């Protein structure tokens, strides 16, 4: 499953991956915080949508448009 930058508000166009909370190659559990997303107004912990092994596609500090893939979670 691909994890994309979510749209958290009507005016949001981009977000910054401020911190990964699950290491690259680590295991995420559905509903567990996966990363911290920073917008122009606030920081949000974003939960993993599914359980599995996480592969980061971007580095901390990258600012990306809404909808950009930032990680993959291999179920199982």
The predicted pLDDT at position 40 comes to: 86
- The answer to whether 66 and 21 have CB atoms below 8 angstroms apart is no
Domain that holds residue 47: 2-74
What is the model's pTM?
0.94
End-to-end CA distance of the chain: give it in Å, rounded: 11
Q: For residue range 8-57, what is the model confidence (pLDDT) as tens digits?
A: 999 999 999 999 999 999 999 999 999 999 998 899 999 999 999 999 99
CB atoms within 10 A of CB 72: 14
**Domains contained in the chain, number:** 1
Q: For residue range 59-75, what is the model confidence (pLDDT) as tens digits?
A: 999 999 999 999 999 98
CB atoms within 10 A of CB 74: 11
- CATH number of the CATH domain containing 28: 2.40.50.100
The predicted pLDDT at position 41 comes to: 80
């Amino acid at each position: 499953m691909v994890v994309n930058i979510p749209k958290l508000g009507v005016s949001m166009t981009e977000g910054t991956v401020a911190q990964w909370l699950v290491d690259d190659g680590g295991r995420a559990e559905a509903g567990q915080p996966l990363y911290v997303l920073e917008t122009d107004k606030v920081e949000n912990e974003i939960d993993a949508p599914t359980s599995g092994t996480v592969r980061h596609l971007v580095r901390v500090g990258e600012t990306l448009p809404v909808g950009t893939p930032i990680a993959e979670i291999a179920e199982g």
